[in-house]
């Protein structure tokens, strides 16, 4: 076991991938000499050379578009998009090409591309640096979308993403980059918990609380606070956002009868809506209350002085928990 | 103070716009690094009206924006600003071009053109509003004819081109001017903007500040030819000027503006300069930059260069220097005061201006959030500071 930060754990996972497979190449802006603006690729160019770890010109569409060509040629490109808000210039290549080529060619062409995107807010950044664009990608068939919430998963899941034959969008919760935890670097990614599997993080009997990425820590804090009040919350980290491991969530909700989903992204058309609808379909007769979403608002990500209002915090999550339990809450007395 | 419009009349009188700059990609220089005025057969004409007094005022402007930059960097270090993108070393490029524009021209810039914003008359407090985290936009673009700074690399070049299409449709003689970096020239947007600008021959000036770096990436990673030569491939005439030479920048900008005003279409200017500081206050250039390089460029400093010229002319008096220092002090003080006394935004402000007409989804969310805040008996939401953890 080694204590390492989230960012360091991804770095270690990428290093393993580069060592294990000569076809793995990294592409992105500032990822070489600088080691990325978050230092996630620190030292990799020095050790693997400029042909394996490539500083690219400033052109996101080209970064992803050339990854498509490299994949045609049998490579496994891992591209870094510097910040969430800069993935949009590459959006066309991702949704029109990366996502569809396997289908379009009836499986003849594989697109084992991993697209790493630091995402989410809470670090006081200017606009375009704090977005949660996951729903755009979960809505696109052909893509796998994952996000991790702790250094150990960060380490193994990045390796699983890189070795996956499908394209994977790997969202990194940037406000957790400096969080430290023990990581077992001897863990074999092939036998570790699959990136497709949701993680049950706490045992709980009253409410199922579904979170992913940056809000997993907040959800765990909320569960701890609720426990002080005698409320038992089962926290589930989805890990995979497309596809969602519904079996795990269903099993939990069948026991608790209550569901709260939380994410930073805006509510309408967000992943919370998808989870709430799917669970309602599958668990209708088990539900004691309507599923509740605690999310960001349907607004452009706000300037940093106000971001704490937009981001779901512990108290807002607990308020949502109270709603499912019929306890007094901010919306008490309101209908619909 | 301002040299706005100076020389435009002369330009008109000159008859057919200078036609040879399109391919002349030697570096245009009118003041050497040591401050010697060197003559140039084509470009002297465009700054021949600049009086000693105006030269002094350019020196003042450059000194003031350097001071603004230093002060803002200090404010960031003191925790008053979340981030700041320094322009140290790019004063001549920004003042030389910014002071050449007419009030009815319209600027679309990146985040680094605070000197241009100063020329446009942007209020000092508005300059730091966004970087403090108090707003998404520091000013109303229409009050100063300058769009608020763009963070998405290169996107503004398309906006400028579209604005220029509008100018053309309206039959006006104003010009859209867009500022961007060397790295930006790799983005699809910038290339597409040049295609449109050339196809429609619209009045837009592409002002590329080649400061040699895009965060950690040197310009040679973006291009194997001079950036000015890229424009030629799109059929856009271009110039490569010493970006640390305020007169050369001014001359080139006036050439481009004049061409645009007369219906001659777009021009691309590559101002060759150097970013002496970090990319932003969050960056650490020691990880990727050779300190000798900084030393070489410091010797070409844009401000000491004008100072050198003023000195040769006997104009760099103690009185002038004191006057410039006083002005810079006053401006820095005003900016600091405006920054530190800026009112914090209110929680429910997050819902403002998402739409210009009511939206039922959002209204409901706002109502629920207001109730949530009220449930703490604390409508200001002060207890929520910790909430976002
Ligand atoms: C589309 C997009 N991709 C990436 C970034 C991140 N980024 C911000 S500034 C920058 C470098 C820009 O360099 P350049 O265009 O040369 O301008 P300079 O900052 O040097 O003035 C990068 C990569 C961004 N803001 N937008």
- Name the residue at shortest CA distance from atom 19 of ligand 1: B214
CB distance B228 to B268 below 8 Å: yes
Burial B265-281 (b: 16+ CB within 10 A, else e): bbbbbbbbbbbbbbbbb
CB of A85 within 8 Å of any CB in chain B? yes
Catalytic residue, chosen from B66, B129, B132, B275, is B275
* Choice between B13 and A33, residue whose per-residue pLDDT is larger: A33
Residues 6 or more apart whose CB falls under 8 angstroms from that of B185 comprise B154, B191, B208, B222, B223, B227, B230
CA of B183 to the centre of ligand 1 (A): 6
Question: Judged by CB atoms within 8 Å, which residues 196-225 of B form the interface with A?
Answer: 214-217, 221-222
Q: Is B16 exposed, middle or buried (0-12, 13-18, 19+ CB in 10 A)?
A: exposed
pLDDT of residue A335: 76
C-alpha distances out from residue B77 to A32, B111, B280, Å: 27, 19, 12
Contacts of A27 in chain B (CB under 8 A): none
DSSP 3-state of B229: helix
Greatest alpha-carbon span in chain B: 74
Interface with chain B: mutation pick from A54, A299, A317, highest number of B CBs within 10 Å: A299
Determine whether the interchain pair B372/A124 forms a contact, defined as Cβ–Cβ distance below 8 Å: no
Distance from CA of A149 to the nearest CA of B (A): 14
Q: What are B337's two structure tokens?
A: 């005061």
CB distance B160 to B193 below 8 Å: yes
* Nearest in space to B273 (alpha carbons), one of B93, B118, B153, B98: B93
pLDDT of residue B378: 62
A330 closest CB neighbour out of B132, B216, B372: B372
Mutate to test the pocket of ligand 1, among B154, B215, B277 (most ligand atoms within 8 A of CB): B215
C-alpha distances out from residue B43 to A252, B19, B23, B232, Å: 76, 12, 14, 20
For helices B91-98 and B52-77, angle between their N-to-C axes, nearest 10 degrees: 130
Determine whether the interchain pair A29/B375 forms a contact, defined as Cβ–Cβ distance below 8 Å: no
In 10 A of CB A193, how many CB atoms?
16
Determine whether the interchain pair A58/B214 forms a contact, defined as Cβ–Cβ distance below 8 Å: yes
Question: How confident is the model over A34-39, as a mean pLDDT?
Answer: 97
Greatest alpha-carbon span in chain A: 63
CB of A55 within 8 Å of any CB in chain B? yes
In this prediction, does ipTM exceed 0.85? yes
Percent of chain B exceeding pLDDT 70 equals 90
pLDDT of residue A98: 98
pLDDT of residue B20: 39
- Counted residue by residue, chain B has a size of 389
Beta pairing, strands A76-80 & A207-211:
unpaired
Contacts of A264 in chain B (CB under 8 A): none
Is 50 exceeded by the pLDDT of residue B50? yes
Instruction: Quickly tell me which residue has 């269903």 as its tokens.
Output: A250
Is 90 exceeded by the pLDDT of residue A4? yes
Q: Does the beta carbon of A208 sit less than 6 angstroms from any atom of ligand 1?
A: no
Residues 6 or more apart whose CB falls under 8 angstroms from that of A174 comprise A38, A118, A119, A120, A123, A214
CB distance A242 to A205 below 8 Å: no
pLDDT of residue B377: 81
Distance from CA of A165 to the nearest CA of B (A): 29
Question: Judged by CB atoms within 8 Å, which residues 143-172 of B form the interface with A?
Answer: 151-154
pLDDT tens for B266-284 read 999 999 999 999 999 999 9
CA of A288 to the centre of ligand 1 (A): 51
Name the band, by pLDDT with cuts 50, 70 and 90, for residue B25. Answer: low
Is 50 exceeded by the pLDDT of residue A301? yes
Looking at the CA of residue B151, tell me the nearest atom of ligand 1: 25
Instruction: Name the residue of chain B whose CA is nearest to A125's CA.
Output: B82
B151 closest CB neighbour out of A37, A127, A334: A127
Greatest mean pLDDT among B23-32, B221-230, B374-383: B221-230
Contacts of A297 in chain B (CB under 8 A): 350-351, 362, 365-366, 369
Q: What are B245's two structure tokens?
A: 């030479």
What string of DSSP letters covers B159-184?
HHHHHHHHHHHHT----EEEEEETGG
CB of B379 within 8 Å of any CB in chain A? no
pLDDT of residue B6: 39
Phi, psi of B218 (to 5 degrees): -70, 155
Catalytic residue, chosen from A102, A129, A263, A310, is A129
pLDDT of residue B17: 38
Stretch (H or E) spanning A3: strand A2-5
pLDDT tens for B182-197 read 999 999 999 999 999 9
* Residue A128 is a catalytic residue: no
Determine whether the interchain pair B134/A305 forms a contact, defined as Cβ–Cβ distance below 8 Å: yes
- Name the residue at shortest CA distance from atom 18 of ligand 1: B181
């Amino acid at each position: 076991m080694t204590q390492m930060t989230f960012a360091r754990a991804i770095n270690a996972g990428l290093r393993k991938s580069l060592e294990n497979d000569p076809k793995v190449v990294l592409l992105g802006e500032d990822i070489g000499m600088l080691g990325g603006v978050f230092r996630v690729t620190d030292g990799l160019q020095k050790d693997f050379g400029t042909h394996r770890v490539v500083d690219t010109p400033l052109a996101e569409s080209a970064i992803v578009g050339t990854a498509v060509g490299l994949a045609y040629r049998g490579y496994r490109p891992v591209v870094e998009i510097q910040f969430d808000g800069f993935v949009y210039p590459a959006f066309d290549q991702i949704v029109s090409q990366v996502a569809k080529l396997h289908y379009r060619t009836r499986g003849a062409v594989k697109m084992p591309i991993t697209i790493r995107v630091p995402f989410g807010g809470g670090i006081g950044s200017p606009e375009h640096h704090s977005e949660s664009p996951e729903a755009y990608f979960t809505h696109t068939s052909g893509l796998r979308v994952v996000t991790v919430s702790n250094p150990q998963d960060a380490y193994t899941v990045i390796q699983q993403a890189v070795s996956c034959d499908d394209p994977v969008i790997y969202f990194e919760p940037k406000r957790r980059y400096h969080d430290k935890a023990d990581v077992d670097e001897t863990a074999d990614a092939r036998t570790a918990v699959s990136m497709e599997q949701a993680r049950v993080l706490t045992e709980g009997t009253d409410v199922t609380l579904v979170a992913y990425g940056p809000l997993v820590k907040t959800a765990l804090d909320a569960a701890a606070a609720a426990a002080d009040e005698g409320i038992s919350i089962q926290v589930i980290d989805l890990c995979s956002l497309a596809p969602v491991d519904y079996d795990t969530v269903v099993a939990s909700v069948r026991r608790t009868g209550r569901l709260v989903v939380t994410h930073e992204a805006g509510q309408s058309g967000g992943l919370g809506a998808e989870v709430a609808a799917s669970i309602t379909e599958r668990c209708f007769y088990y539900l004691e209350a309507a599923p509740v979403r605690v999310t960001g608002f349907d607004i452009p990500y706000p300037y940093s002085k106000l971001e704490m209002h937009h981001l779901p915090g512990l108290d807002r999550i607990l308020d949502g928990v109270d709603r499912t339990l019929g306890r007094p809450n901010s919306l008490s007395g309101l209908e619909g | 103070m301002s040299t706005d419009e100076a020389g435009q009349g002369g330009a008109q009188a000159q008859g057919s716009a200078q036609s040879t700059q399109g391919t002349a990609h030697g570096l245009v220089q009118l003041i050497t690094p040591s401050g010697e005025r060197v003559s140039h057969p084509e470009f002297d004409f465009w700054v021949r009206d600049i009086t000693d007094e105006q030269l002094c005022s350019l020196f003042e402007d450059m000194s003031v924006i350097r001071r603004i930059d230093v002060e803002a960097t200090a404010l960031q270090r003191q925790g008053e600003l979340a981030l700041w993108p320094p322009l140290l070393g790019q004063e001549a490029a920004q003042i030389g071009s910014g002071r050449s524009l007419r009030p009815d021209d319209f600027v679309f810039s990146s985040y680094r053109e605070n000197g241009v914003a100063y020329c446009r008359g942007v209020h000092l407090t508005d300059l730091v509003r966004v970087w403090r985290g108090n707003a998404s936009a520091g000013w109303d673009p229409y009050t100063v004819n300058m769009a608020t700074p763009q963070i998405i690399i290169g996107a503004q070049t398309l906006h400028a081109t579209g604005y220029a299409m509008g100018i053309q449709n309206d039959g006006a003689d104003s010009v859209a001017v867009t500022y961007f970096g060397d790295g930006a020239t790799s983005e699809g947007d910038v290339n597409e903007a040049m295609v449109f600008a050339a196809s429609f021959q619209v009045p837009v000036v592409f002002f590329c500040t080649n400061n040699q770096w895009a965060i950690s990436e040197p310009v040679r990673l973006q291009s194997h030819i001079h950036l000015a030569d890229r424009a030629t491939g799109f059929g856009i005439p271009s110039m490569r000027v010493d970006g640390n030479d305020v007169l050369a920048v001014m001359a080139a900008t006036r050439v481009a503006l004049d061409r645009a005003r007369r219906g001659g279409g777009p021009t691309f200017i590559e101002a060759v300069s150097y970013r002496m500081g970090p990319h932003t206050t969050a960056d650490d250039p020691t990880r990727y930059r050779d300190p000798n390089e900084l030393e070489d460029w410091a010797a070409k400093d844009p401000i000491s260069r004008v100072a050198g010229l003023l000195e040769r002319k006997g104009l760099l008096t103690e009185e002038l220097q004191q006057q410039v220092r006083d002005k810079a002090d006053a401006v820095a003080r005003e900016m600091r005061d405006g920054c530190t006394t800026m009112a914090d935004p209110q929680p429910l402000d997050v819902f403002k201006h998402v739409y210009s007409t009511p939206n039922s989804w959002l209204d409901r969310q706002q109502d629920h959030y207001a109730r949530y805040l009220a449930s703490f008996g604390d409508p200001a939401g002060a207890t929520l500071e910790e909430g976002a953890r």
